[in-house]
Structure 1
Amino acid sequence: MSVKGITKKLFTLFLTLAALSAQAQEDWRDIEWGEFIVRFGFSYVQPNDDGTSLKYRVLQQWDLYNTSWQIDTAHTWQISGVWRPTDRWGLELVHINSANYGVALDNFTGNSGRDKIQLGDFSASSTFAFANWYMLDPSYITRPYIGAGINYTNFHTVDISRQFNEYLLDSDFSTAPGSFNMGHSWDWGLQAGVDFNFDLRRWRYPVLVNLSTIYYLADTDATVDFPTELGRDRLYAHFDYNPWIINFGVGTKF
């Protein structure tokens, strides 16, 4: 048999097997994909607010020596989605939107009779990807779980305070108003939570109530940039955000 004839027979065999395989494949609409959950809710954020003192690249600025960051707690909204391909495992995406903060520097010695100065304001938005393990099977109304994953935190809408700008100008450090700047962070996070499944009336889409706690690491280098007579200068600080978050959410599964 010639090479051409062998090639033709092999090609025919390949087409036949492909057709049989296509007929044997299950329709994607009949495949069991598991459960999908969507939630919307609120978050209470308690940042760690551990920041180093503002200083020049090498030298310490005396008025700011040993200052510490003070940041209040924040409230914001969050949205999440979960895919549970099996009864005990799930993949979750969580977004916590724009927690807003004001930063004050404690132990400040630059103004007589005042030991605190307002540095500025910023917002922090965080997005997480978790792998969750569920301790109980779906027959239980209460489904506790633990998870681990990664997070991306963006520090944005950063503004320097009028009070700190006045300090820079009055102390002859700056010849014009400066700017407060922060960056972003990639790091890991942990969570523990519980889903409550309210399906008493056998609704098509049951109501889910979720409570969870998240702890994660996030840090960034903060700077204060300002113009001088010789050009520009900069103060540096390292900020460890590292917050605890309590989430309350309501959603459904399908």
Structure 2
Amino acid sequence: MRFKPLLIPMAVAGFAGLAAQSALAGPSGYPVVQPTPPVWGAGTFAVRVGAAYVDPGDHAIRNVTSSFADDPSSDQVEEVPLDLTTHLDLDDDTSWFVSATYVFMDHWAVELHYADDVSFSGSLYSKASAPSLSYEGEFTQDLGDFDTNYTKLFLDWYFLDTTCLWQPYVGLGVVYTDISEDFIRPVYNTNNRWGAGKIGFGSDLSWAAQVGVDVVLGRESNWIVNASAMYLDSSPEFFIGYDVRTDLPEFGEPVISSVRIRDSGLDLDAWSFNLGIGYKFNF
């Protein structure tokens, strides 16, 4: 049997095996550890949905209107100082949100976040006081819900390595606030007399900041869990007008006073706490 024709292919195979072993070995001959693939690197795109708890600032509007009252039943002109205090308070609400994040380079991403139909329950508190007559009267009235929509755009910085399953971040951006207009329901004073009023809102574009974390549910998984806290600096234009009927002592008839607050910023400096689940893709 002739072995010489087999020596050349056997030698080639042997050299190929040695070359492959050398390629997998480090300088000392040990196997090279392959790098961990990134889970949140450049080209990652993620969408999320979840719940948003939004808590606006206390006393969204505070105003004192000073005027002079005159007894309607008397021909004599009187100038009794009368102060009308107005507080508008908004309660918190929980709604839903949807967001999208694109990591355009390692550690940096842009995020669009939208919270829909955040219904703040509003209440009006008003007090009439005439120090010269030692008079004080007040009333409160529920105004219904103010449907508010928030659209936010952030630049986010992820500060851990792109291979970490936990990806905390901070973000800075802008927020656009839009509130649906509504009418005030009848406003009652302490003597159960009433007058109608109107309330109007504008929109606002201001700044926002956030901290959050995206948790990837495994290296082979595309599912994520997200939690974030946002501060929304928002002061949309605001108008309120209503009449107050006040029974002042020593006056023969009640005094009708008008409260008109125009071009005032509604202080909605709100905190939003969000919890959601999402899915990521890689391009």
TM-score by length of 1: 0.70
What residue in structure 2 maps to residue 138 of structure 1? 162
Query: How far apart, CA to CA, are the structure 1 residues paired with 2:42 and 2:216?
Result: 19
Does 2:97 correspond to 1:78? yes
Contact 1:108 1:117 in 2 (8 A): no
Give the number of the structure whose residues are more often helix, by fraction: 1
Classify 1:247/1:218 alpha carbon distance in 2 versus 1 (closer, same or farther; 3 Å): same
What residue in structure 2 maps to residue 41 of structure 1? 50
Classify 1:211/1:77 alpha carbon distance in 2 versus 1 (closer, same or farther; 3 Å): same
What residue in structure 1 maps to residue 32 of structure 2? none
Does 2:61 correspond to 1:52? yes
Query: How far apart, CA to CA, are the structure 2 residues paired with 1:242 and 1:82?
Result: 24
1:54, distance to aligned residue in structure 2 (A): 5.0
1:152, distance to aligned residue in structure 2 (A): 0.4
Q: Which moved more, 1:71-80 or 1:58-67?
A: 58-67
Cα-to-partner distance string for 1:43-68 (whole Å, 9 max, x where unaligned): 01110033333566x85998873332
Matches within 5 A, 1:145-156: 145-156=169-180
Q: Which runs of 5+ in 1 are unaligned?
A: 1-31
Cα-to-partner distance string for 1:8-37 (whole Å, 9 max, x where unaligned): xxxxxxxxxxxxxxxxxxxxxxxx971110
Aligned length: 208
Pair member with larger Rg: 2
Does 2:174 correspond to 1:158? no
Classify 1:224/1:78 alpha carbon distance in 2 versus 1 (closer, same or farther; 3 Å): same
| CA RMSD in angstroms, aligned pairs only | 3.2
Contact 1:53 1:65 in 2 (8 A): no
Give the number of the structure whose residues are more often strand, by fraction: 2
Query: How far apart, CA to CA, are the structure 2 residues paired with 1:226 and 1:66?
Result: 12
Contact 1:92 1:131 in 2 (8 A): yes
Q: Which runs of 5+ in 2 are unaligned?
A: 1-40, 70-80, 130-135, 244-257
Contact 1:49 1:69 in 2 (8 A): no
Classify 1:63/1:75 alpha carbon distance in 2 versus 1 (closer, same or farther; 3 Å): farther
What residue in structure 1 maps to residue 274 of structure 2? 247
Does 2:231 correspond to 1:207? no
Query: How far apart, CA to CA, are the structure 2 residues paired with 1:71 and 1:130?
Result: 26
What residue in structure 2 maps to residue 128 of structure 1? 152
TM-score by length of 2: 0.64
Contact 1:55 1:235 in 2 (8 A): no
Contact 1:219 1:240 in 2 (8 A): yes
Query: How far apart, CA to CA, are the structure 1 residues paired with 2:107 and 2:87?
Result: 44
Does 2:96 correspond to 1:65? no
What residue in structure 1 maps to residue 17 of structure 2? none
What residue in structure 1 maps to residue 13 of structure 2? none
Classify 1:60/1:153 alpha carbon distance in 2 versus 1 (closer, same or farther; 3 Å): farther
SS of residue in 1 equivalent to 2:62: coil
Query: How far apart, CA to CA, are the structure 2 residues paired with 1:190 and 1:105?
Result: 30
What residue in structure 2 maps to residue 191 of structure 1? 210
SS of residue in 1 equivalent to 2:236: strand
Contact 2:59 2:90 in 1 (8 A): no
Contact 2:85 2:128 in 1 (8 A): no
What residue in structure 2 maps to residue 216 of structure 1? 232
Identity rate of aligned residues, in percent? 27
SS of residue in 2 equivalent to 1:85: strand
Cα-to-partner distance string for 1:127-167 (whole Å, 9 max, x where unaligned): 011000001122111000000001100011533123x2x55
Classify 1:233/1:211 alpha carbon distance in 2 versus 1 (closer, same or farther; 3 Å): closer
